[in-house]
Structure formats: structure tokens, C-alpha cells
């Protein structure tokens, strides 16, 4: 009987731990409202200009900005939504 209670308690604890990890993982991946409310220009200034001087939006074609955005997304660790906002801003600045 003691062994059964121990297994039951362990199972409950494991389920609780896995549930908390799942919730934290899901919420950690979702963009915050503050980030979602930012414009492409704000995200560009915060994420791109912190590491290097950025060229004028007119320096590259729309297609080139798409490629640059994909490359820099992995380097700057930004989300797809952030990349899209930044690239749209850069493409509109022509």
C-alpha cells in the first residue's frame, strides 16, 4: 500500500511539473503585447542598430531586404512577426 501511494504521489508531481513546463514554454514563445504593438521602425532601431550602423532603406531592393531579413533573424534572435515588420518598414522606405 505504501508503495502504491508513493507511485501515485510521484505521478501527480510529474504531471504537475510537465504541465508547468508546457505552459511556460508556450507563453515564452508567444510575442508579448509590448513587442506586438511596436512598429517596424521601432523594432529596426532596437534590434538592428544595436549591433551595427544600418544602411538606408533605399540601399537594397525589396527582394534583397527579404534575404537580409531572413539572415539577420537568426543572428538577432527575432520572431517571424518582428522580421516581417522590420522588412516591411525597410521596403516602404524607398
pLDDT in tens, 43-68: 998 888 888 888 888 999 999 999 99
What's the fold here for domain 32-94? Cytochrome Bc1 Complex; Chain D, domain 2 (1.10.760)
% of the chain surpassing 70 pLDDT:
83
- Could you tell me which of 47, 57, 45, 34 has the C-alpha nearest to residue 78? 47
Residue extents of the structural domains in the chain = 1-30, 32-94
User: Distance (Å, rounded) from C-alpha 6 to C-alpha 39?
Assistant: 53
Identify the band that residue 70 occupies on the pLDDT scale cut at 50, 70 and 90.
very high
**pTM for this one?**
0.64
Sign (positive or negative) of CA dihedral 45, 41, 65, 70: positive
pLDDT value of residue 12: 84
Amino acid at each position: 500500500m505504501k508503495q502504491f501511494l508513493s507511485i501515485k504521489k510521484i505521478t501527480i508531481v510529474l504531471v504537475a511539473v510537465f504541465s508547468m513546463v508546457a505552459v511556460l514554454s508556450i507563453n515564452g514563445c508567444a510575442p508579448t503585447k509590448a513587442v506586438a504593438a511596436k512598429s517596424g521602425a521601432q523594432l529596426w532601431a532596437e534590434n538592428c542598430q544595436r549591433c551595427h550602423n544600418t544602411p538606408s532603406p533605399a540601399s537594397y531592393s525589396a527582394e534583397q531586404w527579404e534575404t537580409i531579413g531572413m539572415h539577420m533573424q537568426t543572428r538577432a534572435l527575432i520572431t517571424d512577426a518582428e522580421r516581417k515588420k522590420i522588412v516591411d518598414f525597410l521596403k516602404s522606405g524607398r
